[in-house]
Amino acid sequence: MKIIASNFKTNHTRSSTKEYCIHLEEFLNHFKTPHKITLFPPSSAFLENNFKHFKIGAQNAYFTKNGSFSGEIGQEQLDEFKIQTLLIGHSERREILKEDQAMCAKKFAYFSALDYEIFYCIGEPLNIKEKGKEAILDYLLTQLNGINLDYSKLIIAYEPIWAIGTGISATLEEIELIHTNLKQKLGKIPLLYGGSVNANNIHDIIYLNNVDGALIGSASWQVENFCQILKNS
């Protein structure tokens, strides 16, 4: 069993998400997969989380039940859709929205106390990658500061920033090397890879040593492509 997730990012409307989910549910009624599937649509497109073959998660939430945090959503807005799965620390939030490690750790503390399943993202930028393995690992470990690695519903996604949305995935050797080193620290925590995963490379990537699945962006935004990814997995 692998974990395969689609991050819609800022794509899809409520109606296109609904179509996507209906298509996927129908596909998975016939195509049996051993893998655990999660979709992360934008919050404006949340749907009631009661599909048989996959879960709906949130790409972000603030560490509050409700309150005065304009532009954010909290626990109450997730509860309305029975959402119990949350992405924290995606590089786009860290880099573009300037979310720092303290903020990621606060979100993690709040939602782990509520028993959420947490997909927690880490990943290095190109200038760190160029410094080599030790620099990469040091950088990635700083992104785990304040995160309780004993939390049983934690899943970590390693998404090198230079591989996201570029069409240039890390090589199989690079993925296996970093995952194997990370696993020494992470133990049994599932470790996904993300960054230009698609229908052609999914199989090779998810069956590498120490890879427990994939977090996929652009190649999964059309439901037919995501179904093909699942067929090839």
Using CB under 6 A, which of 17, 75, 218, 233 touches ligand 13P? 218
Using CB under 6 A, which of 217, 223, 226, 230 touches ligand 13P? 217
Among 227, 200, 230, 232, CA closest to 20: 227
Q: Is the dihedral of CA 142, 143, 145, 148 positive or negative?
A: negative
Q: Which is nearer to ligand 13P, 159 or 212 (CB)?
A: 159
Binding mask 84-123 for ligand 13P (x = CB under 6 A): ------x---------------------------------
The structure tokens listed for 6 are 């689609």
Instruction: Quote the CA–CA distance of 56 and 48 in Å, as a whole number.
Output: 8
Catalytic residue, candidates 12, 90, 92, 179: 90
Instruction: Quote the CA–CA distance of 228 and 41 in Å, as a whole number.
Output: 19
Residue 159 appears among annotated catalytic residues: yes
The reply to whether 83 sits near ligand 13P by the rule CB under 6 A is: no
The reply to whether 140 sits near ligand 13P by the rule CB under 6 A is: no
The reply to whether 197 sits near ligand 13P by the rule CB under 6 A is: yes
Residue 53 appears among annotated catalytic residues: no
Based on its alpha-carbon atoms, the radius of gyration of the chain, rounded to whole angstroms, reads 17
The site that binds ligand 13P (CB under 6 A) totals a number of residues, namely 14
The reply to whether 7 sits near ligand 13P by the rule CB under 6 A is: yes
The distance of closest approach from Cβ of residue 223 to ligand 13P in the complex, given in angstroms and rounded to an integer, is 15
Cα three-residue angle 180-183-189, rounded to 5 degrees: 140
Among 162, 143, 152, CA closest to 88: 143
Cα three-residue angle 212-93-115, rounded to 5 degrees: 55
Residues contributing to the site for ligand 13P (CB under 6 A): 7, 90, 159, 164-165, 194-197, 215-219
Active site residues: 90, 159
